[in-house]
Structure 1
């Protein structure tokens, strides 16, 4: 019995020691920087830098302090940064010294994210427990071309489909890389203490240094040519939704690939909502997981699978009549930029299994664009029959936007029926 107790104690001590050893490993600091350029071409869109543009960006995907943290609708350049210091799980006050070409002063202030306190009694108890299946469908089309290909659309009918098949329908080829996520215990920029706007002429090129309690003094790096903000997506369309719509754009020197997706909503014959999706992929893909940063290895894989378009591509035709009955349709595009991965010391070509850097840093880059289908040249004219009520003649740039359903809101509406 005594020997058994000693053996058990030895095992527990060994496990504790291994756990402490595992926790002690890993870089002393990790730093992520996300660069995003956004462009929207729609009538009534606020000018860049205006109060309306900032509010709209916050409502449509920006974080609470002005960063992108998603696709967003506000035009311009966006930068998000996040610092993790292994020695301080609560986060630290840090500083990111930036080059003068950023035109944002000498540095950015990084402040910790505090865990949100749970609110007692916030659990919903009035949920409708009806077993009636929701009404509505999702119609998925894919591929560039003037006509719909055989075997399309792929249809998910909520009234008929088994819930176990939803995951298969929404499966995507996208695999977003790790970057800024706003995790509690990490420090971020922008924040409530420092949220200045990134100027349109800002550039990340040059020398950078990150400091803070527990941050190695060696956390300094240089961003060279090829890893700066991408240009704005210059996206335009020709043609009406009842016909084939040709999407065109200017290619970008440092873009690694492109991807387009469109969404619209229509009312079916029985009064239920139909959500219509299309993507430029050669394979069925709703595109939601592809409208964000992808790692270089993932982009290479997606190019081989013909899920994304090669960087030399400058146009893509959306098949005719897909969105003919839609009450408005949005076209989104992303240009994937390069990814810069840094460490100190630099990772050896054949790193041993126990190799451990002092710090790591990653810079991810993308550019996104958005416009409405049925508007020539990215938003100069409304398509026939889509003018706002009471507007005589052609709608001008200040006219209200047509009602375009948000895919997530459509899903909520479908499931709440």
Structure 2
């Protein structure tokens, strides 16, 4: 009595794509919506906040082990009868999470996904985009933060073409539950999602489905300097990847005694597209459209050259992330009627999206390859107790880049 569906709820209508056109079907909102996001994290960032696991692995002469992470969100239009909401997700044994995990209803609701605030950095931001030996005419776009009002987001800084797409959020739910929580559990490198899943609670109908897709394989990336001064990024193809997207954040430290610096931001998109949904989990149909628009690299692509001007503008540090967007599985009960004239009243909908991500330091051996044998870990360019990359950029920018530990303390 369950069905896999490939559609989206949009304002009470189901838009079912067909080769001959789009058919609109009336539908009521489901009582409950369930969302799972699965990620495989490798490279810098794997094994702990701020990449500490990767740092320790490199220090001991090893390679950081890829990690699996899982986020669960349940939203319902119901309230718990006793005023004490409780829900849990019963996992297959291969998940290695015990019989179930509790979906906790937080006393204080978390912030909505997306950009919630912008902490203005000092100095300037130089924005580059596109793969190639050299940046084309018109780049970089320079934003002088001294000319912006406090708290003002620079116009056009984040993409508007790719919004964050979440079914479940605290504001769209009468009762909301989420995991990970404070139960001390987390997905493991050998956890598997394949098999039967059930979500049960006192504020939502029972949800049951079986997953056929597992965590994606890890991204194995490397980077090397080219004679032109450009940086060549390489990675191995990941099965089930629907497309790839790379970002790099870098910087030029100000002369000693001065508090100003340049922040450099580069994206692999052929157009000026940054942040937003590009740093999130994207549906395969969305990725396919973005590949056509050359915002996202195709699943057949395994290289991208970062222009020489990016490295020249950011001589002190360059940190990158590479996303491999993956498959989606969607479920609903009862199934959507085949006759588009029949109104659909689902009790629940559920979906899981996948991605694989790797973090790397450009030119640092052990994190995605080195530019040369002489490359060594850079000395700290800041005094202790200053904020890290996330702090330099402002919390919103660091979050948009997906920087591990963005906004945390450190150099």
Give me the TM-score of the superposition, normalised by structure 2: 0.71
> Is the 1:327–1:404 Cα contact (8 Å) retained in structure 2?
no
Deviations 1:162-184 (A, max 9, x none): 89882224334322221565668
Deviations 1:291-341 (A, max 9, x none): 111223321221121000001111111111412343111011111111222
Counterpart in 2 of 1:188? 178
Counterpart in 2 of 1:362? 351
Deviations 1:139-163 (A, max 9, x none): 1111111112122111112345689
Change in 2 beyond 3 A, CA 1:230/1:353: same
Counterpart in 2 of 1:410? 393
- Larger fraction in strand: 2
Alpha-carbon distance in 2 for matches of 1:154, 1:320 = 16
> Is the 2:323–2:355 Cα contact (8 Å) retained in structure 1?
yes
Note the residue ranges of structure 2 that are not aligned, 5 or more in a row.
Answer: 1-27, 54-63, 111-119, 381-385, 398-411
Equivalent runs, 1:15-414 vs 2, <5 Å: 26-41=29-44, 48=47, 53=48, 56=50, 75-88=66-79, 92-115=85-108, 136-160=123-147, 166-179=154-167, 181=169, 185-192=175-182, 194-217=183-206, 219-224=207-212, 227-239=213-225, 243-267=229-253, 272-287=260-275, 289-324=277-312, 325-349=314-338, 351-352=340-341, 354-376=343-365, 378-379=367-368, 387-389=377-379, 406-411=389-394
> Is the 2:87–2:200 Cα contact (8 Å) retained in structure 1?
yes
Change in 2 beyond 3 A, CA 1:413/1:344: closer
Alpha-carbon distance in 2 for matches of 1:160, 1:292 = 30
Deviations 1:329-387 (A, max 9, x none): 10111111112221001223554474210111111111111010113563565865764
User: What SS is found at the alignment partner of 1:342?
Assistant: strand
Change in 2 beyond 3 A, CA 1:211/1:331: same
Change in 2 beyond 3 A, CA 1:382/1:237: closer
Give me the TM-score of the superposition, normalised by structure 1: 0.70
Alpha-carbon distance in 2 for matches of 1:246, 1:258 = 15
Q: How much has 1:230 moved relative to structure 2?
A: 0.8
Q: How much has 1:238 moved relative to structure 2?
A: 1.3
Alpha-carbon distance in 2 for matches of 1:238, 1:151 = 26
| RMSD of aligned alpha carbons | 3.7
> Is the 1:85–1:92 Cα contact (8 Å) retained in structure 2?
no
Change in 2 beyond 3 A, CA 1:143/1:290: same
Change in 2 beyond 3 A, CA 1:271/1:241: farther
Higher Cα radius of gyration: 1
Note the residue ranges of structure 1 that are not aligned, 5 or more in a row.
Answer: 1-24, 60-72, 118-132, 391-402
Question: Which stretch has the larger CA shift, 90-99 or 26-35?
Answer: 90-99
Q: How much has 1:40 moved relative to structure 2?
A: 2.2
Q: How much has 1:206 moved relative to structure 2?
A: 0.9
> Is the 2:87–2:177 Cα contact (8 Å) retained in structure 1?
yes
Alpha-carbon distance in 2 for matches of 1:206, 1:368 = 24
